[in-house]
Amino acid sequence: MELFVGNQRSMTRSARHIRRALQKAMRILRGFSPRGSSYWAYLEQSDEFEFSNMSSRELRRIHRKGFSVEDFTQIGDCGRDHLRGLSDYWYLYLYPLQGKFNRLVNDPLTVRYVFDRYGDLFPKYYYSLIKKEGTTVYVPLQDAPACEGCDCDAIEKLLREGANLIVKSPKGDPSLSEGASRGISLSYEKGTFFQEGVPSSRSEITAVLEGMPARSIVLEDMDKSHSLGEAGALQARAVQFVVCNLDGVSPEIVQVYTVLDDHTSRSQIRTIDKTTGIISGSISVSEQHGSHLEYEAVPLWDDLVSAVLSASAYVPELEYLGFKVVVCERSFKVVEISACPQLFWGKTDDDDLWRYLDSALDAKRKRGGFLQIARQVLRKCSDLWILDKTGFMGYMYRSWKRDLRIDSQSSTLHRKEINWAHDKGFFSYRIKQYGLTDDNYSEFLSDREYRWLRPINCEYRKWVYDKVSFRYVLDRYREFLPKYYFHIMTRSQGMVCAPMMDCPLEDRGGFDSVLSLLRKKGVLVAKPTEGSRGIGFCKLEYSEHGSYFLNNEAKSADEMLSILHGFDENYIITEYIEPHDFMKKLSPHAVSTIRITVVNTRVSDPCILDAYARIATNKTGLTDNVSNGGIFARVDIESGRLHSGELSSNHNVTPCVRHPDSGVGIDGFIPHWDEVKQTVRDICVYIAQLEYLGFDVAITNDAFKILEINTHQDLHRYPNYDPRLKEYFRRKIEYKKAKR
């Protein structure tokens, strides 16, 4: 299974590094994800350190069977037949089981945002530590006390007020080592600060915080005196649930266990009855006999199970989840939600779990041929090389080169002009748009520089990378978001139609429920979870005469169902946004939007620096794609006045005083503009980890809806940008160049 060279204990350090690098590469070529491969290497190294008294031969024997020493010990004499060939090794080979939706739970802070609706189930989250241009910035989270400043002083104040805190690094799934994932505990008692129980000065606490990796978080420490009931001979650390939700509708607990400490020997793992909550092997002794042993059942079991199943059903994209819950006598807190939870490998009645994992393993083996994996590895290596040599993200570099070729082929300019523009970093059509010359081109942000800057935002840009993550993370502002009804997605058993958070209870029955809801609503929207410029947009309609329509084309009910079943990528079904009368006068057949650009470098004081309207025409169809015959008009940020309309066609921009189809003048004031600005600012403070955002807002008669948020929107009319936005880009370019 693995490549072993000699006695690993007698190897030099460099030889061990080489061996491990080769093993990691071999695992990736077999189909491991880079993170899954790294976790297996970490597991091996942990065993070498923790079981140093075990012979190298015995360690290799256990690892070749695919287990850590601790998990191999769990199996004991019961054999491995019930595991269907599964092991730690093959379990990590499956990672990530959820595919791209693993991003919803692959770090603790994202989990807290995604499950904000279940905030009472979590410990208190106080601060997120992020790095902005090399400086640590403290971003207040959901439970942070209101204060003027967010820095070390705010955390010191929390400690002095009696809070027990833990600072966790952003390490993601799976949590292979409790110690490694637990973080650093901070407390204050009798005038003294403590770090991991060791007396520390205030400056030492500050040094710990400043030295933590980017994206670390400060939260309530739930490991302080929490157990299953009163102190007894055995103390439970937490209850671990494993849940499967294959159809996206009916989650099921497939394994549950707890880890007990007797304070004298190694931890004991005990399974828990899924129905009653009784811990296996527990004994109940009457108080009148003067003895007390373990509690035989987990407190609040029914409430605990209900909460876990409800949270699982809330996110149907995740068909396999682990919940780690700290249980007290009167309450419980979810301290971890994982897409690759630790399992109990001993003999149990968890056949459904092993059957599911075995099926997933077979499916992945069939998907991943060696040549396909090798191509993916080469692409990743190419991306890393490009990043190192040019500073470009790999996919952005390739798209830049592709778009240069397209520009060369489609431009009507002389070849000499095209080459000049490309040499300066611009597309050829910018010569006319910007009025570029040899004397002034350096005054503009070039297309190459802007793409080179990506990503401007930190790793949390994944929060708004797709329309599904965006909806979960911003659930607190759901009144300003479209209603999300269904998610059509790929599962191991094929395409499924899972209800989302806004789906009525009576319409949670699969694909037929989409048509049922359509008959009630009259019009719905289907669009890909990822993508831009309106590609893949579908308008679903039902008339009072009993007819169905897809993008204004009549369809039968069977044809509609066939189309829904036939989507070859993930789609969401949402409400259709009916635009405000003011916007409908301009363009009655499609929803026009306002693009608002915000920069938030100071966490609590976001600045709206650009806004323009994108107005649909007959050429753009049911979308407002300005690059394909649409209209854009500037919006005065202070007043919301719409003015200076321009028509865009094949990158040729011409003034447009009146809409070419409706004849209505492009002028007036955007309704609800002050409320739009305030809500956009509030959201920027809520997700202050992201500093450069582009909001797409649809205005309605009652209020407005935010359709999506972009983290690297297209450059649009750069000469018209606010000087502060131009300075922001200049500073970002200088900082990135200095880092290289």
pLDDT of 176 reads 41
Domain identity same for 602 and 517: no
- Residue ending a domain, among 183, 200, 220, is 220
Which residues lie closer than 8 Å to 563 by C-beta, 6 or more apart? 538, 550, 555
- Supply the mean pLDDT for the chain: 87
Looking at mean pLDDT, say which of 50-54, 456-460, 630-634, 677-681 comes out highest: 677-681
Domain identity same for 322 and 382: no
520 has pLDDT over 90: yes
Domain identity same for 585 and 727: yes
Give the confidence band of 625 by pLDDT, cuts at 50, 70, 90: low
Residue 242 lies in a domain: yes
Q: Quote the tokens at residue 625.
A: 């794609």
φ/ψ of 50, rounded to 5, equals -75, -30
Residue 458 lies in a domain: no
Place of tokens 């910007």: 434
Domain identity same for 280 and 312: yes
Domain identity same for 314 and 410: no
Which pLDDT tens digit goes with each residue over 361-397?
988 888 766 677 777 778 888 888 888 889 999 989 9
Bridge partners for 327 per DSSP: 332
Give the confidence band of 85 by pLDDT, cuts at 50, 70, 90: confident
546 has pLDDT over 50: yes
Place of tokens 């005038």: 191
Position with higher pLDDT, 94 vs 590: 94
What single DSSP character describes residue 661?
T
Structural domains of the chain, count = 6
Domain identity same for 726 and 591: yes
Q: For helices 370-390 and 394-410, what crossing angle results, to 10°?
A: 80
Long-range contacts of 520-525 (CB under 8 A, 24+ apart): 521/575, 521/576, 523/576, 524/485, 524/573, 524/574, 524/575, 524/576, 525/482, 525/573, 525/574, 525/575, 525/576, 525/577
H helix runs in 167-278, sequence order: 178-182, 202-211
Q: For helices 13-30 and 370-390, what crossing angle results, to 10°?
A: 120
Residue 152 lies in a domain: yes
pLDDT of 4 reads 40
180 has pLDDT over 60: no
What's the CATH number where 606 sits? 3.30.470.20
φ/ψ of 487, rounded to 5, equals -125, 115
Domain identity same for 596 and 724: yes
Domain identity same for 585 and 722: yes
Residue 390 lies in a domain: yes
Domain identity same for 167 and 267: no
Domain identity same for 497 and 522: yes
Domain identity same for 139 and 208: yes
Select from 574, 361, 552 the least CA-distant residue to 488. 574
Residue 378 CA to residue 613 CA, distance in Å, equals 42
The residue-averaged pLDDT of 186-208 equals 92
Q: Quote the tokens at residue 60.
A: 């290799």
Query: Which residue range is the domain that position 424 belongs to?
Result: 373-453
Residue 296 lies in a domain: yes
Place of tokens 């989650």: 251
Which pLDDT tens digit goes with each residue over 228-267?
544 444 455 689 999 999 888 899 999 999 887 654 445 6
Domain identity same for 543 and 590: no
Q: What is the pTM of this model?
A: 0.91
**3-class secondary-structure state, position 443:** helix
Position with higher pLDDT, 15 vs 179: 15
- Residue ending a domain, among 514, 541, 575, is 575
Residue 366 lies in a domain: no
pLDDT of 173 reads 45
- Residue ending a domain, among 94, 114, 132, is 94
Residue 116 lies in a domain: no
Which pLDDT tens digit goes with each residue over 653-707?
889 999 988 889 999 999 999 999 999 999 999 999 999 999 999 999 999 999 9
Residue 111 lies in a domain: no
Give the confidence band of 177 by pLDDT, cuts at 50, 70, 90: very low
What's the CATH number where 237 sits? 3.30.470
Give the confidence band of 637 by pLDDT, cuts at 50, 70, 90: very high
pLDDT of 630 reads 82
The residue-averaged pLDDT of 28-46 equals 88
171 has pLDDT over 70: no
